[in-house]
């Protein structure tokens, strides 16, 4: 089965990003595919290279980066939502890319299931 994942919440103010990450890990471990992870609304904050969590805390951004590297995942940040929150190419963490809502629509079309995390 092919999944599309939408993340609507930031990495440290809501459980949605952690839940989406764990979900993606689980479906990949079971042999399914993840077509794309689309970060929307406050979810774009998952893609900033300016985040510096304490060393004893989880690093959600690095978790997404490693998962994407290991499984060749497409991590897409909504351009409009990103601009509103100061996420531009210069502040984007490696492994993420900025694009428009067409990428979200394509994920919904290409995936067998689209799963949304956060409001």
Residue range 2-117, CATH number: 3.40.1260.10
The answer, as to whether pTM is greater than 0.85, is yes
CA distances from 96 to 1, 31, 47, 112 (A): 23, 23, 6, 23
pLDDT one-digit tens code per residue, 56-80: 778 899 999 999 999 999 999 999 9
Provide the pLDDT for residue 53.
Answer: 78
What residues does each domain of the chain span? 2-117
Q: Can you list the residues of the chain whose pLDDT is less than 70?
A: none
- Token readout for 80 is 């409009």
Provide the pLDDT for residue 37.
Answer: 98
Active site residues: 78
């Amino acid at each position: 089965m092919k999944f599309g994942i939408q993340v609507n919440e930031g990495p440290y103010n809501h459980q949605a990003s952690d839940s989406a990450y764990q979900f993606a890990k689980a479906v990949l471990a079971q042999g399914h595919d993840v077509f794309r992870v689309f970060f929307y609304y406050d979810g774009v904050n998952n893609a900033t290279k300016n985040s510096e969590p304490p060393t004893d805390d989880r690093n959600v951004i690095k978790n997404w980066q490693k998962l994407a590297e290991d499984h060749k995942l497409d991590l897409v940040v909504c351009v409009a939502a990103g601009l509103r929150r100061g996420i531009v190419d210069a502040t984007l963490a490696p492994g993420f890319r900025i694009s428009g809502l067409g990428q979200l629509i394509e994920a919904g079309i290409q995936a067998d299931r689209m799963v949304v995390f956060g409001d």
